[in-house]
Amino acid sequence: CIFVNDVADATALRRLYDRGTRVLFLRCAGFDMVDLEAAKELNMPVVRVPAYSPYAVAEHAAALMMTLNRKTHRAFNRTREQNFRLTGLLGFDMNGKTVGIIGTGNIGSIFARICKGFGCRVLAHDVAENPEALSYGVEYVPLEEIWKEADIISLHCPLFPSTKHVINEDSIKHMKDGVMIINTSRGALINTEALVEGIKSNKISSVGLDVFEGEQGYFYSDRSGEIIANDMLARLFTFPNVVITGHQAFFTQEALDNIARTTIDNIVAYIANDPLVNEVK
């Protein structure tokens, strides 16, 4: 059983196969870390946990959004030092703001519902419209309109070649001045160098990241007291308007219970030679 930041490339799969492994169970929804072609050549089924708590991730995205808006991360540190000045803590009303959501599966549609609860206008882009999102009053538009209209952009799409670096130098150039960007999906949806330049130029007012391109080797490990060799990650830590969490958006009791149950169900189905309903095709 592997998790989101484990490596399952062709070399790793061949070594597993040579040591007797005949099926690969994922304890996560994403499978971009698996070389599916290599797995297919080895006749090794890849079975995942397609959903464990969309509420957990959507709520974490909302938490990042509100932290950045009301600057509670800065206020927390400030008041602990008995500094109660409000300078630099100005936020804005969420009511009436436009939120752009890229990807409206379970997580994206729940995040849309949360934003509608704040009184936001919600624009969305996806390859297919989600009836549930439509029922919340979500407006489906081209990406170009999201860049142009959104005060806040939140990413909730999977990582495919077509979505890699969907946030890039060109898309940032077309965004509203002072846009907020949230990513709780996959790190490589954002070109980090372009993101840093957007922050430095004040085009981007704030960024909330639960994922980062190149997070492997950092997230889920204690690197305190060490030098961060990844220049982009180190640079992001220098910005007071950037909040980074270590791929913890999923991390709720309910999600862990669902991951465990679904993984066990997948294993039992394989042993019983039953259909693998969660197999990645």
- Residues annotated catalytic, as ranges: 186, 215, 247
CB atoms under 10 Å from CB of 26, counted, come to 25
Q: Which residues contact 84 (CB under 8 A, 6 or more apart)?
A: 78
CB atoms under 10 Å from CB of 81, counted, come to 7
Say if CB 114 and CB 59 are below 8 A apart: yes
The SS3 assignment for 86 reads: coil
Say if CB 166 and CB 185 are below 8 A apart: no
Give the C-alpha separation, 65 to 71, whole Å: 10
Tokens of 157: 């799409």
Q: E strands along the chain, which residues?
A: 24-25, 46-47, 98-102, 121-125, 139-140, 152-155, 179-183, 204-209, 242-244
